[in-house]
Amino acid sequence: MSDKTVKIFSTPTCPYCKMAKEWMKENNIEYTDVDVSTDEKAAQEMTEKSGQMGVPVILVGDEVLVGFDKPKLEALLLK
């Protein structure tokens, strides 16, 4: 199990956000979920880190993943 911190920038209506959070739960990975539809500061942080407006943006330690990239998440978190 990874000791990296995980933060998911998401919105309630995003299907890929839901899939990413389900995947985290299935793999017992703790994460912080940030709803960028209601948190303007978080939305700004997400855009600065990723250069993207789309969700999900997943931070794994210092790595920034845009979208639900399961192979990359597995490589980063399930080593």
pLDDT tens, position by position, for the chain (79 residues)?
Answer: 457 899 999 999 999 999 999 999 999 999 999 999 999 999 999 999 999 999 999 999 999 999 999 999 999 999 7
Q: Let me know if residue 1 belongs to a domain.
A: no
Q: Let me know if residue 37 belongs to a domain.
A: yes
Beta-strand pair 6-10/57-60: antiparallel
The number of domains in the chain is 1
> Domain limits at 70?
6-77
Q: Let me know if residue 44 belongs to a domain.
A: yes
Neighbours of 1 (CB within 10 A): 10
What is the pTM assigned to this prediction?
0.92
Looking at residue 39, the DSSP 8-state letter turns out to be -
